Structure 1
Amino acid sequence: MNVLIVGANGQIGQHLVDELKDEGKHKPVAFVRKEEQVEKFKEQDVEARLGNLEDSVDEIKERMADIDAVVFTAGSGGSTGSDKTLLIDLDGAVKVIEATKASGIDRFVMVSAFGADDRDRWNEELKPYYVAKHFADMWLMDSSLNYTIVRPGMLENKETIGKVLAKDVITDSDVFSIPRVDVAKVLAASLENENTYHKSFDLVTGDKSVEDALNGL
């Protein structure tokens, strides 16, 4: 499959590009917003397409030619205000969902946030972010797309552990974090794993291989 990675220049996105390249089953296509990022991926022999999540649905759709699946890893980042959270994490995600549907693409994998499905679990300091993730996820679930929503715990820049816990809701784990590289491994494995179709789940470091954890959903 040709997999469009929205937010490919972000940390999870870059790990996912590397994961797909290394496994050789799917071709990563980077969706990025700066020309220098396009050039960076070209130097890595990765196709890159220039676009912006504040563009129109039609403009985003133009970047989806010959794409078989979309993975949304984009985010406004912790240094921006609530306005950008609204425009990128919510409206940007919704526009990508709408462009995906309009392009006739069926498969959509979303990176959400741990506990975004339940208001009682939201971090009050990050409430606008959780609101954005919550309603973007709802929009995706209400679409006709074959979705998977991955809600990772606290993201860490560590080497891969390779063992995860994936459940509808995780409240009983000793660990509530996960390396970004392991999130990317789960995203890659989810693309064709039918146990993840039309499912959303929390994700943290655990004691099962990625394959076993996803097969147990």
Structure 2
Amino acid sequence: MTTLVIGANGQIGRQFCELAEAADLPIRAMIRDVAQQPWFQERGIETVIADLEGELDGAFDGCDQVIFTAGSGPHTGPDKTLLIDLYGAIRAADLATERALSRFIMVSAMRAERPLEAPEKLRPYMAAKHAADAHLRVAPVPHVILKPGRLIDEPVTQRVATSLEETGGENSVSRANVAHALLHLAQARDLLNREFVLLDGERPIAEALS
């Protein structure tokens, strides 16, 4: 069955879509407008036009799980954070419940449960992630919540950690490793109602996220 990728045009989303296509994992990339389609079409990836701030329901047709890796981005204000990172995530989780999907895989953030400890500019984002995660935890749809640390653009290693104790306090993770972790989670159908912190580390992804 098909995995709907919400946030497919983002930095992590694009990397995940390429990995999924190479692994023959059926996916549908949700994008906001046709101008974003060529990149996906060139790689043979199915797309659907939908918007977290508008019509969304039809994107779920024929899908059995969702990966939510959308984000309002660093250059928007708290209004977009509320509409996309919070309300958009809640709408998507509710639709997954209504459609009786098998799983909802959420890309959240490490320490989202402590938004007041984040840098001031990040507090609305972390609060939105915290609230969206809380909604997903009590939703009927089975879930996996992935909590990456500080995102960096380093080469993939496929070696990760799931706690600061493992890394000696280093709190970063490459976007490439997040994308590979999402591929593992998308294929590991037996993982239900689990949460994982994700950092760059020394353990293979399949071992760490088990």
Q: TM-score range by the shorter chain?
A: over 0.9
Alignment partner of 1:99 is 2:95? yes
Determine the structure 2 residue equivalent to 1:39: 38
Q: Contact (CA 8 Å) 2:67, 2:106: kept in 1 or not? A: yes
Cα deviation per residue 1:135-164 (whole Å; 9 max; x = unaligned)? Answer: 000111110111000110111111101100
Secondary structure of 1:201 counterpart: strand
Alignment partner of 1:138 is 2:134? yes
Distance 1:61 1:129 in 2: 25
Q: Percent identity?
A: 33
- Measure how far apart 1:201 and its partner are: 2.0
Determine the structure 1 residue equivalent to 2:206: 211
- One-letter amino acid of the structure 1 residue matched with residue 156 of structure 2: T
Distance 1:129 1:118 in 2: 11
- TM-score, with normalisation over the residues of structure 1? 0.90
RMSD over aligned Cα atoms: 1.6
Alignment partner of 1:182 is 2:182? no
Distance 2:83 2:2 in 1: 26
Describe how 1:58-137 pairs up with structure 2 within 5 A. 59-119=55-115, 121-137=117-133
Q: Contact (CA 8 Å) 1:6, 1:30: kept in 2 or not? A: yes
- One-letter amino acid of the structure 1 residue matched with residue 147 of structure 2: R
Distance 2:183 2:207 in 1: 14
Distance 2:75 2:129 in 1: 17
- Measure how far apart 1:106 and its partner are: 2.3
Cα deviation per residue 1:73-94 (whole Å; 9 max; x = unaligned)? Answer: 0000000001000110000111
Per the alignment, do residues 190 and 65 of structure 1 end up closer, same or farther by CA in structure 2, a change over 3 Å counting?
A: same
Distance 2:113 2:165 in 1: 13
- TM-score, with normalisation over the residues of structure 2? 0.93
Cα deviation per residue 1:176-200 (whole Å; 9 max; x = unaligned)? Answer: 1111011011111112436742011
Distance 1:171 1:81 in 2: 34
What is the number of equivalent residue pairs in this alignment?
209
Structure 1 residue ranges, 4+ long, deviating more than 4 angstroms after superposition? none
When structure 1 is superposed on structure 2, of 139-148 and 189-198 the one drifting more is 189-198
Structure 1 segments unaligned to the other structure (5+ residues)? none
- Measure how far apart 1:36 and its partner are: 1.2
